[in-house]
């Protein structure tokens, strides 16, 4: 079964502790009339938080693509804590996903346009 969420579902979803495996920039060919400029995050979406037998958290996850359309002014910064060179790179996890409506934008859209922030913990969920 495939479930598809849209911007209308945003307020009812939690992205906390979803692991980010990769990101992709999808750009079209303006010469062909394709103005695609999307950012896609390959994530493990936490469908359900469960309480483990030992009291620790467990998760039911599903592979998912988190896609942002009409991306402009993209900034990507990835930071892990300064461990003194003791901790290896590991999957980043989303801490929170925020959006703020951009009122004074130059795009000709017939819908709201948002500035998105994907804040990552840079650590695995515990």
Query: For residues 61 and 106, what is the distance between their CA atoms, to the nearest angstrom?
Result: 38
12 lies in a domain? yes
Kindly indicate the confidence band of residue 3, based on its pLDDT and cuts at 50, 70 and 90.
Answer: confident
Residue 59 lies in a domain: yes
Residue 56 lies in a domain: yes
Q: Could you give the number of structural domains in the chain?
A: 1
pLDDT average, residue stretch 15-35: 93
What pLDDT, on the 0 to 100 scale, is given for residue 1? 67
Cross-strand pairs, 116: 99
Residue 72 confidence (pLDDT): 87
Q: pLDDT tens digits, residue range 31-52?
A: 999 989 999 999 999 998 888 7
Confidence of residue 29 (pLDDT cuts 50, 70, 90): very high
Query: 64-119, pLDDT tens digit by residue?
Result: 999 998 898 899 887 766 778 887 777 788 999 999 988 887 766 777 888 899 98
- Residue 126 in any domain: the answer is no
**78 within domain boundaries:** yes
Q: What is the pTM for the complete model shown?
A: 0.79
In a domain, 125, yes or no: no
Domain span holding position 63:
7-120
Whole-number Å distance between alpha carbons of 68 and 41:
9
Residue 2 lies in a domain: no
Nearest Cα to 58, choosing from 46, 66, 68, 67?
46
Predicted confidence at residue 59, as pLDDT, reads 84
- Provide the residue count of the chain: 126
H/E segment holding residue 5: none
Residue 55: pLDDT band (50, 70, 90) is: confident
1 belongs to a structural domain: no
């Amino acid at each position: 079964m495939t479930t598809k969420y849209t911007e209308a579902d945003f307020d009812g979803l939690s992205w906390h502790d979803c692991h980010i495996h990769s990101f992709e920039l999808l750009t079209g060919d303006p010469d062909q009339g394709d103005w695609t400029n999307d950012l896609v995050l390959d994530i493990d979406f936490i469908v359900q938080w469960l309480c483990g037998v030992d009291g620790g958290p467990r998760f039911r996850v599903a592979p998912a693509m988190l896609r942002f359309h009409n991306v402009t002014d993209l900034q990507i910064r990835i930071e892990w804590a300064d461990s003194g060179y003791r901790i290896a790179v590991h999957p980043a996890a989303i801490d929170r996903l925020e959006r703020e409506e951009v009122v004074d934008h130059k795009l000709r859209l017939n819908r709201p346009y948002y500035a998105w922030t994907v804040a990552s913990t840079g650590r695995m969920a515990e």
